[in-house]
Structures are given as C-alpha cells and as structure tokens.
C-alpha cells in the first residue's frame, strides 16, 4: 500500500515537512490545484514526478479569484477523496492551508499582472481573476520554493500569466505547461464538469470539435476572421452562450489577423446552462 502524503495546514508545518527535502538537496516540484482532482491534475503530478524527486500538491480554493456572483461557495470540495487519489499517485506532500492561513487578518498585498493578463480573454469576463491567481500563486511559490511548478495548458491564459510573473519577479523556478487531458469525446477534463446535466454533457464536446475544425481550416490557409465567425455560429447553434472564440499569438496572446503574425493559439469560453467552460488548442 502506498503511503499517505504528509498534509501541512500551516506555513510553519509546511516548512518543517519540507526541511528534510532541502537538507537532502532534493529537487522539489509544485502542482497548484483547487482540489476535486481528476486525471488532468494527475497528469501534472506524473509530469512533476518525472522531473523532480519530491512533489508537493497544493489544494486551496482561492476566494480572491472568484467574483461574488461566481461559484466559490458551490465549487466541488472533496478533500478526503483527493488525499486517497494523491496517495495512489504517490505525491509526497499536500499543502492545504485554510483561507485564514493564506490571508490572515490584515493581509493587504495584491499582485496586478498585465501583459497576457489583459489580453481581453478571461480577463474581460472575470476582471478580478488574474489578480487573485497571481497573488495566490506568488504566495504558493514563496511558501514552497520549488524548482519547478506545473500548470495545465487547459487554463492557457493563466499559464502565460504565471510564466510571465515568475520571469518578471526573478523567481527561481521553472514554470512548465502540461498538455490538456480530455475525455474520449474531446471534452477537456475540469472539476466544473460535474455541474453539467446529462443533456449539457452531450453538447459540451462541441467546443473542442469547433477548435479542432477551426485549427484545421486555418492551417489550410482559410481566412482567420471567416473561420472564427463560422466557429462562433456553430457554438451558439449548439446551445452555448459564447463569451469568446479568438485566435491569438501563442506567447503574447495578442490578436492575430493572419498566419504570418506568428504561432497561433485558438481559445474559447462559453456557458452551457449555468456552467462556464473554457478550452484552447495550438494551430
């Protein structure tokens, strides 16, 4: 039987638990999550284990990245199941602070990312999101002080924002992106997929299908504007309320009008019923 990972709930117990790793000079990788773990998260853990001797998984549903009307209250929380899953996956340490530990009375600092964080994608619909993410990720990075941190391409803009922040703040760690893990029908795994009704679940793969078809047409030389218009219509026709379907530069997330403008990433966000889904692929 695999050993349960150590669970740290305060900064001092985290430091104590990590002390032996540091003394032994072991490479440490961090996988930040909000829990309700699925195979997507486990792909990050597996990649972390390939690259580092010790893997720390943080589980923290970060209140500051949710707007008041969003799903902070109902976000799935399954701590015991997550620990069982991480035991099986042989993670070494789980960092699970409470909100009071992460943001003690009097906490007054916020990181305000720009660049990719202001690309007009997620930020347009969730204006507080990347400030909340950058602040909590900066804290996780300093608390754990890993050599590597792994993030999913599933949240592509977030991956770009965190990569930029680590560079801008001279943080001594490498941010690594991991390809999106999908269901057989193409739907990107997400903790939020549990919100989908059976009917919504049958429609949900439309996002990935549209991304794939659009990428193929753009690769074939069709006009990006035209392909995106068709894709937007298709997603709306399937029953989604579309937030955006965009073609952006892979690194800067700046708008792109033609294939000559650089490597392209297609990004989409749309609501089906009450559930907001996001996805993206490279062209």
Q: What DSSP assignment string belongs to 132-149?
A: HHHHHHHHHHHHH--SEE
Contact window for ligand AMP (CB under 6 A) among 36-44, 139-147, 235-243, 247-255: 36-44
User: Which one among 18, 44, 136, 224 touches ligand AMP, defined by CB under 6 A?
Assistant: 44
Nearest CB to ligand AMP, comparing residues 40 and 231:
40
Q: How far apart are CA 246 and CA 231, in angstroms?
A: 10
- Interaction of residue 34 with ligand AMP, rule CB under 6 A: yes
Among 40, 113, 132, 205, binds ligand AMP (CB under 6 A): 40
Q: Report, as residue numbers or ranges, the catalytic residues.
A: 41
**135 binding ligand AMP? (CB under 6 A):** no
Here's the x/- map for ligand AMP, 150-169, by CB under 6 A: it reads as -xx-xx--------------
Q: How many residues bind ligand AMP (CB under 6 A)?
A: 17
Nearer to ligand AMP among residue 33 and residue 210 (C-beta)? 33
Close Cβ partners of 199 (under 8 Å, ≥ 6 residues apart): none
Task: Give the three-state DSSP class for 256.
Answer: coil
Q: Which is nearer to ligand AMP, 188 or 228 (CB)?
A: 188
The yes or no reply on residue 41 touching ligand AMP (CB under 6 A) is: yes
Please answer whether residues 283 and 215 qualify as being in contact, where contact means their C-beta atoms are separated by less than 8 angstroms. Answer: yes
111 neighbors 130 (Cβ within 8 angstroms): no
> In the bound complex, what is the minimum distance in angstroms from residue 115's beta carbon to ligand AMP?
19
> CB of residue 25 vs ligand AMP: minimum separation in angstroms?
27
Judged by phi (left if over 0) then psi (alpha if -120 to 50, else beta), residue 35 lies in left
Regarding 126 and contact with ligand AMP (CB under 6 A), the answer is: no
Kindly identify the residues of this chain, within the stretch 173-192, that bind ligand AMP according to CB under 6 A. 178, 180-181, 188-191
**Are 171 and 164 in contact, with CB atoms under 8 Å apart?**
no
Residue 38 or 118 with smaller CB distance to ligand AMP? 38
Shortest Å, Cβ 259 to ligand AMP: 27
Q: Which residues contact 37 (CB under 8 A, 6 or more apart)?
A: 78, 81, 82, 85, 86, 191
- Residue 252 CB contacts under 8 Å (≥ 6 apart), including other chains: 115, 116, 119
Of 83-91, 117-125, 148-156, 166-174, which segment contacts ligand AMP by CB under 6 A?
A: 148-156
Calculate ∠ Cα 283-37-199, nearest 5°. Answer: 70
Angle between helical axes of 224-237 and 206-219 (0-180°, round to 10): 160
Closest distance between ligand AMP and the C-beta of residue 183, in Å? Answer: 9
Residues that bind ligand AMP (CB under 6 A): 33-34, 40-41, 43-44, 151-152, 154-155, 178, 180-181, 188-191
């Amino acid at each position: 039987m695999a050993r349960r990972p150590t669970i740290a709930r305060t900064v001092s117990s985290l430091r104590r638990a990590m002390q032996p790793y540091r003394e032994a000079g072991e490479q440490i990788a961090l996988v930040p999550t909000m829990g309700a773990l699925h195979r997507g998260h486990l792909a990050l853990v597996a990649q972390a284990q390939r690259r580092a001797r010790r893997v720390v998984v943080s589980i923290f549903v970060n209140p500051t990245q949710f707007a008041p009307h969003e799903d902070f209250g109902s976000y799935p929380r399954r701590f015991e199941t997550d620990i069982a899953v991480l035991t099986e996956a042989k993670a070494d340490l789980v960092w699970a602070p409470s909100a009071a530990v992460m943001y003690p009375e009097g906490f007054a600092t916020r990181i305000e990312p720009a660049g990719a964080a202001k690309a007009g994608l997620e930020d347009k619909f969730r204006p507080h999101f990347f400030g909340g993410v950058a602040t909590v990720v900066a804290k996780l990075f300093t608390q754990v002080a890993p050599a590597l941190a792994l993030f999913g391409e599933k949240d592509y803009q977030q991956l770009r924002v965190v990569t930029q922040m680590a560079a801008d703040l001279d943080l001594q760690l490498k941010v690594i992106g991991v390809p999106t893990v999908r269901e057989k029908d193409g739907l990107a795994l997400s903790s939020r997929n549990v919100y989908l009704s059976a009917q919504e679940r049958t429609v949900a793969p439309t996002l990935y299908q549209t991304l794939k078809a659009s990428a193929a047409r753009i690769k074939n030389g069709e006009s990006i504007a035209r392909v995106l218009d068709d894709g937007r219509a298709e997603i709306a026709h399937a029953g989604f309320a579309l937030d955006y379907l965009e073609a952006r530069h892979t690194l800067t997330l700046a708008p792109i009008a033609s294939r000559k403008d650089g490597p392209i990433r297609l990004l989409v966000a749309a609501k089906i019923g009450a559930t907001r889904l996001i996805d993206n692929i490279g062209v």
